[in-house]
Structure 1
Amino acid sequence: MSILDAVLGFAVLAFAVTAVAALSIAQRVASIALPALLAGCVAQWLIEGFYWQFAPTYLLLAAATGLVVWQRKSRGGGWATVARVGVGLLLVPAALAWALVPVPNLPRPSGSYAVGTEVLRLVDANRPEPATDAPNDHRNVVVQAWYPADPAAHGKRPAYLDGRGRLPERVTVLPSCMMRGYDRIDTHALLDVPVNPDRARWPVVLFSPGYGAPRAFYTGLIADLASRGFVVLAVDHPYEAAVTELADGTIATPHERFLDDDPDQTRYMSGQLDVRTADLRFVVDQLERPDIMGSRLFGHLDTEHVAAIGHSFGGATAAAALATDPRLKAAANIDGTLYGTLPQQSLTKPFLLLESDHEETGHGAAYLDGNRALLARLQAGGFRYEIAEANHYSFTDAPRFFADPARFLMAHLMGGARGPRQTQRATNDILTAFLREPFGGGRGDVAAAAARYRDIHGGPVR
């Protein structure tokens, strides 16, 4: 939310409250306040365009103005009370509309590098698309690279979300109408700029999102990780992600093929895990191809040091990729339930499990038992940490879609009082320390990274 939006919204609400509670005062200030408020509305519309969140505010301003003018020309009476109640009732939708901010603010990355980004829309000619029936439809994999950028570079801001102007009715559980202004989100990165020349090659981290979530919803976490000296390749898994733009410009939305004899969908999720794991393997295959990586990234990727991380179902994907692809050096699962035979795997590379607060998220038995079994079979050791007062969505941008008062209320109802900024900062501090050793930088002090934050519990797994 911009400063103009916040100031204008608060001012209109204050004027309406004054009009309802003290009409005599409202009449005295109207000559000064109304021109300023009307000018603010015009400026907001011209500068930032129309947001549906502002419609109740415009209506409230019009109603409060009408109330003041009508009261000035009349003697009040019973109808004055009715008018006051009517305007008072409009305060509720005006305030509720601001629960969903028109343009979320993402945190500025905390690392020492400027961040660049590039989108690669790839097609795996060796795999058919399992979600469609077209015989010539091959598997698309969409990758957005986030990387340390040349600090002297200039460029434009990238789009936050695929499918601008063509979004489906809903994006995960959120109505797409609330995302009308998301093209104005500042990702704190520049599009298609040169890679930072400080190092010849940068270590690579694959990132897989949660089930149904587009890669965009992790921009805050990913951009911050890239600013610390990693090339992060965020992978969209088409026809499962809420919205993805394919190589031919098609907007892909979820195509879920649930089975009648699979009531808890474990077989379906196991199959999807195989599809996702193959997606990550395909991305690793492309890292040394100049025709795919292009002039910006090719030659700047340290393909000897590649890891996989992910959130929720993406965390399971990262673990499955580590179990099946010897090119990966490490993996991290952020709050993900494991499926299929993955809990019985014996991982031979370093592994990290990062968890939200168990009490606030309410992890199910499949999550608890599966991760406990996987950790017990680790061959190369690893770590497990639980972040208190973080819920399952604290690792995503989703809490930032809501205004601070709404976020405060949600934290009390759903947990997550630590907030996305502190949760993601702690996550990336721990990830950076964890990846140091498998990426050839010497032993990282993971315990010290976790200890910098209050109430993060856990440690090494032997």
Structure 2
Amino acid sequence: MSVIDAVLLISTVAFAISLVAAPRFGRRAAPFALPLLIIASLALWALEGYWHWWPLYLLIAVMFAFVMTDAAGTRRRVAFRVGIGVLTAVAIAPWALPPQPELPEPTGPYAVGSEIFRWVDEQRPEPMTAADDRRNVVVQAWYPTEVESGRQWVYLDGRGRLPARVAGIPGFLLSDLLVETHATADVPISAAKDRWPVVLFSPGYGAPRAFYTGLIADLASRGFVVLAVDHPYESAVTELADGTIATTVENISADDPDGTEYMTERLETRTADLRFVLDQLARPDQLGVLADRVDLGNLTAAGHSLGGATALSALSMDHRLTAAANIDGTLYGALPERSLTRPVLLIESDRAETGHSQRYLDGNRSLLERLLAPGFRYEISKADHYSFTDVPQFLAAPVRFLVTHLVGGSRGAADTQRLTNDILTPFLLGRHSEIANHPGVAGGPVPR
């Protein structure tokens, strides 16, 4: 979209909104606005031949007819306004959502391979269903490789069977996504090392693992095996081992109005999920291409939002984890009162832009104050809570620009994810002195 395209689109939409929402103002502005819009659209057609702007041209024509008819005082005003509203939506739609989200390319020295594991924990019942189901844990591994096969995994589980909404996004908009994940399937893990450090990654509440592909693929390219965990019946969409498509099930009781008990229960289930994944790492027969290639002495956990709390909870309960990183996560249950004995990292979005809750602020402060091991806190300026995810990439650039400057996150997802991994990489490897300072990132070691 060129500058002239953007100006014409914004001006036309603004005038259309004024006609519908404030018709008196719109009619007064019409003698000036309409001629300019007509001249600009004719010039655009003559110079660039943009036939795909036909909804915009039709919108201008309908607004012209509306102004002329409205001046005559006919009773067709409602129909015209509905037509203007529909045409405005049609004109905006191609620029509101891009045909395919474009994720940032990984910055590490390795290509990235991927494989999905759909495991069943026979020892645990599924807490979110009435049937006698066993708990499923779905894991997508992202790992360093030197080979590219050309075959990618589908971005989201459940293609062709998506629910009506996926984490707030209409399912039909995601049904045919062919996102370039920058990772290929059926490739061997890199031979540069005998065994690779492992990071368990837990997504935010309700978010599928796919929404963190940009962050995770980049981390894998830097030399980690990243195991992204879907938590079924909490994630927006997950394909289970038997092919069932599990979607979010919420059963918040009436005596739990703020959902605190519910979120605490979800945290406990997620923690058990991560511990089950750790169990599988000791079973080469379950690991496919990763068999005998993971470093069981270098196991860490990280996550975003509730996933960040999950990483800390797993660290507090399982000695196999050597460190954990919480990215913008609110803590629940007794977690803030625990004294963790292994390193902890807190990465935050801009507090001024995100507006973290008091529970978030108090819980993380309490946990960091009780640490019996090295702790670190960093705040990334101009990043909001969703900047760590792929979600901003589902908006076209003009809309993304407008949204981020209105509600925050103007740093952008790509830069936020890169900075996050710049901090995560040395921390997860235990090389704390190598965590570098970056422009726009404030923080450092937590005093002990």
TM-score range, shorter chain: 0.7 to 0.9
- Structure 2 matches for 1:61-210, cutoff 5 A? 92-97=88-93, 98-135=95-132, 137-151=133-147, 153-181=148-176, 183-210=177-204
Q: Normalising by the residue count of structure 1, what TM-score does the alignment of the two structures yield?
A: 0.82
Give how far 1:58 is off.
5.9
- Structure 2 unpaired stretches of 5+: 13-32, 73-79
Secondary structure of the corresponding residue to residue 129 of structure 2:
coil
Give how far 1:10 is off.
5.1
- The amino acid across from 1:280 in the alignment is L
Alignment partners' CA distance in 1, 2:173 and 2:107: 28
Give how far 1:222 is off.
0.5
Q: Give the structure 1 partner of residue 283 of structure 2.
A: 289
In the alignment, structure 1 residue 417 sits paired with structure 2 residue 410: yes
Q: Give the structure 1 partner of residue 215 of structure 2.
A: 221
Give how far 1:389 is off.
1.2
In the alignment, structure 1 residue 348 sits paired with structure 2 residue 348: no
Q: Give the structure 1 partner of residue 306 of structure 2.
A: 313
Q: Percent identity, please.
A: 55
Please tell me the root mean square deviation across aligned C-alpha atoms, in Å: 3.1
Q: 2:226 aligns with which of 220, 223, 232?
A: 232
- Structure 1 unpaired stretches of 5+: 1-5, 42-56, 72-76
Give how far 1:254 is off.
1.1
Give how far 1:445 is off.
1.7
Deviations 1:64-90 (A, max 9, x none): 8x99xxx9xxxxx968x99xx999877
Give how far 1:203 is off.
0.3
Give how far 1:424 is off.
0.9
Alignment partners' CA distance in 1, 2:363 and 2:43: 67
Alignment partners' CA distance in 1, 2:433 and 2:292: 26
**Range 399-408 or range 335-344, more displaced:** 399-408
Q: Normalising by the residue count of structure 2, what TM-score does the alignment of the two structures yield?
A: 0.84
Alignment partners' CA distance in 1, 2:119 and 2:97: 34
Alignment partners' CA distance in 2, 1:24 and 1:126: 71
In the alignment, structure 1 residue 327 sits paired with structure 2 residue 320: yes
Q: Give the structure 1 partner of residue 434 of structure 2.
A: 445
Give how far 1:456 is off.
2.4
- The amino acid across from 1:100 in the alignment is L
Give how far 1:304 is off.
1.2
Q: Give the structure 2 partner of residue 365 of structure 1.
A: 358
Secondary structure of the corresponding residue to residue 131 of structure 2:
coil
Alignment partners' CA distance in 2, 1:63 and 1:175: 26
Q: Give the structure 2 partner of residue 54 of structure 1.
A: none
Alignment partners' CA distance in 2, 1:22 and 1:277: 58
Alignment partners' CA distance in 1, 2:101 and 2:259: 34
Alignment partners' CA distance in 2, 1:232 and 1:221: 10
* CA distance 1:276–1:58, shift in 2 (3 Å): farther
**Range 228-237 or range 172-181, more displaced:** 172-181
**Range 401-410 or range 316-325, more displaced:** 401-410
